[in-house]
Copies of this chain bind each other. A is one copy, B any other.
């Protein structure tokens, strides 16, 4: 069997090395957020990058028991009291396209939009305008903007202020702001949500689109473990009941 190649972590009799750094040194001198960055970007972040990455991970860490990831984890925890890992994994599995997937979709849209602007030699505003028009014509939702509850997402403002203050904001943030303006004009007011804000900032931090979903999962797992803890500590097994209405065939005989 050919050996598995990896460039992430190695170890010898003395220590473990993550991306070349001795784990003992990292434990003394780095934060966990640095290690998340290091594992996915192969270098340690600057102080400003770390603060932004912290803010993103915090921004996605939890938004309540009714999120599909928390709900799925709690229902599994309700039928399965012995396996913490089963409940957490079910929470991870709920983080699909419709819950937690928007950040990567939005990062792809940003990367494509900026590439189109460059290829055609037009300003970002124009490229963003076309994206909004296409979405309107095709009656397609744009990832990263719009919100069920908030008219302005407080998390977006924090991320963009920090990205501006730290000199990190570049084309990604500019594109999303242009898209928000274009949507307001051509569709309706659609505030940039946390997925869109983190997508813009992760783009400007140099991450590939696929990283958006990874960061969402890493940040949200800790919310999920807290919900599983609460379910196990405060609730009885099998406590979850749903009202169900049956609309299938009436009783019938075989044959």
Residues facing B in A4-33 (CB within 8 A) are 4-11, 13-33
With A83-B85, A85-B217, A89-B86 as contacts: A8 and B230 at CB distance below 8 Å: yes
CB-defined interface of A70-111 with B at 8 Å, one 1/0 digit per residue? Answer: 011011101111111111111011111111100000000000
B80 near A23: Cβ-Cβ < 8 Å:
no
For A32, list chain B residues within 8 Å (CB): 31-33, 36, 53-54, 57-58, 61, 219, 222
B83 near A82: Cβ-Cβ < 8 Å:
yes
With A39-B222, A155-B24 as contacts: A81 and B63 at CB distance below 8 Å: no
Stoichiometry (number of copies): 4
Residue of B36, B158, B229 touching A24 (CB-CB under 8 A): B158
CB-CB nearest in chain B for A18: B62
Q: A39-B61, A40-B222, A68-B75 are in contact. List 8 more A-B contacts (CB 8 A).
A: A6-B246, A8-B230, A9-B248, A13-B151, A22-B154, A64-B244, A72-B79, A85-B217
Q: How large is the interface on A (under 10, 10 to 19, 20 to 34, 35 or more residues)?
A: 35 or more
A11 to chain B: closest CB distance in Å? 6
Query: Which one of A118-126, A177-185, A234-242 is at the interface?
Result: A234-242
Q: Which 6 A-B pairs have the closest CB atoms?
A: A80-B96, A7-B248, A68-B79, A79-B99, A20-B249, A10-B246
**Is residue A213 contacting chain B, with contact meaning CB distance below 8 A?**
yes
With A97-B80, A210-B84 as contacts: A240 and B24 at CB distance below 8 Å: no
A96 near B90: Cβ-Cβ < 8 Å:
no
CB-CB nearest in chain B for A84: B213
For A174, list chain B residues within 8 Å (CB): none
A5 near B238: Cβ-Cβ < 8 Å:
no
